[in-house]
Structures are given as C-alpha cells and as structure tokens.
Chain A
Amino acid sequence: DAGVTQTPRHEVAEKGQTIILKCEPVSGHNDLFWYRQTKIQGLELLSYFRSKSLMEDGGAFKDRFKAEMLNSSFSTLKIQPTEPKDSAVYLCASSPGTAANSDYTFGSGTRLLVI
C-alpha cells in the first residue's frame, strides 16, 4: 500500500521567499493534517481537512501559512513569506476518519531551513 508521500524531503529558502510543500495522502483517507515539528514545541497542528473541507486552521499560523486541498489526493502548504523561525520539519498525515480504530499515517516530512 502506498503511504503518505511528501515532497520535497528537504528545502532551503532565503528569508522572504515563498515555498510550497506538497502532500499526497493515502488513497481513500478522508482526513488530512499538516503539522510542524520542532524539538521545543513538538507537534503543532497547522491545518486539518475533512473530505477537502478545512476543519481547523491553527490560529497562530494563519497569517503566513496557507494549506489547500485541491482534490482528495493532493494538498499543499504554502509559507509566504518565510522567516528563519519557520525552520522545522513539516509533517503531513492522513486518516480514514472518525472510526474508533482510525489512526494517522504520517509522511516522512519535509525538512525546511530558512536562512
């Protein structure tokens, strides 16, 4: 089974640039999540989609972060403009939905460095 695919695996951006991260969820999954991961903060939820509809948009990230789900098999996370504090690993995950045994499948992440 194909898992969650994230591209690119690594990204280096200069301060002020616009970057777009991509995610392909597991086929048939209804829910898609974007997380930012840092050593200090751990996993922080950026966006949550259900059947392509935005369910939750992390309050602290609204101004420069925008996630979209163009179709059920593709999502993007745009950061505009980037700042050095955005350096982190960005994880995408998908899930079948709300059944009691539904768990997340994570991608391998995109490691972003902003200089």
Chain B
Amino acid sequence: GDSVIQMQGQVTLSENDFLFINCTYSTTGYPTLFWYVQYSGEGPQLLLQVTTANNKGSSRGFEATYDKGTTSFHLQKTSVQEIDSAVYYCAMRNYNQGKLIFGQGTKLSIKP
C-alpha cells in the first residue's frame, strides 16, 4: 500500500547548521508531495508542496525536490535558526484522492 517513511525521529542541530530531513514514499500513483511544520501548541501547517516530478518547492529558506527516480522528497535548509524548532511531517496525496498519507514526523531541536 501507499506509505511515507521518515527514518529520523529526532534531529538536533546548532544554529546555522545545515538541515537535511529524509523522506521517501511508496505508491503506484502520481502523488503530490508536501512538507508540513508543526510548532508547539499548534496544528501542522503547510510548509511547501510540489505537484510535478523533478520540480523543487521552496518556502522560508526550506527546499525539497520531488525525485521520482529515488521516490524521495528530502527537506533541506542551508542555515537553521532557533525559530525552526518544530516537528516536520512529510506527506503525499495521490491524484484524485482527498486523503493525505503522513510520515511519522521528525522533531527538529535547535541549540542556541
């Protein structure tokens, strides 16, 4: 069945470090891919999305490239700040489906 895998449950970095959060997906369809961010005490909110394979999405310094060859959608940021501390969810939705399939989430902690 369809699935999204985030292997990293927790990532701890220092300010200005490079961020890389791994995400791979499995489906037979043509998904739209998403990254959501959840700050403490809030619901998840959309960070970025990419509909077309080989395209890149970006927002607030974060980037993710839809790689159909490796079925991956890794999240990157060149220089993280303390305000980026949050839980990040990778998700996908297949064409003509309403439901999102989420990964397990990665908690990002930034040391000042």
Contact = CB atoms under 8 A, between A and B. Distances in A.
Interface residues of B, number: 23
Given A55-B98, A93-B43, 8 more contacts: A33-B99, A43-B89, A91-B43, A97-B98, A98-B98, A100-B32, A104-B44, A108-B43
A25 interface: no
A11 to B, nearest CB: 15
Majority-rule SS of B interface residues: loop
Given A31-B98, A50-B98, A103 B43 contact: no
Interface centre among B36, B41, B89, B100, by most chain A C-beta atoms within 10 angstroms, is B100
28 contacts: A30-B98, A31-B98, A33-B99, A42-B89, A42-B103, A42-B104, A42-B105, A43-B89, A45-B99, A48-B99, A55-B99, A91-B44, A95-B98, A98-B95, A98-B96, A98-B97, A100-B32, A100-B51, A100-B95, A101-B32, A102-B98, A103-B46, A104-B36, A104-B44, A104-B46, A106-B43, A106-B44, A109-B42
A26 interface: no
A56 interface: yes
Interface of B: 32, 34, 36, 41-46, 49, 51, 89, 93, 95-100, 102-105
B29 to A, nearest CB: 12
Contact of B34 (A42, A93, A103, A106): A103
A108 B39 CA distance: 10
A78 to B, nearest CB: 20
Interface of A: 4, 30-31, 33, 42-43, 45, 48, 50, 55-56, 91, 93, 95, 97-98, 100-104, 106-109
A34 B36 CA distance: 17
A102 B45 CA distance: 13
A98 B98 CA distance: 5
Nearest to B101: A45
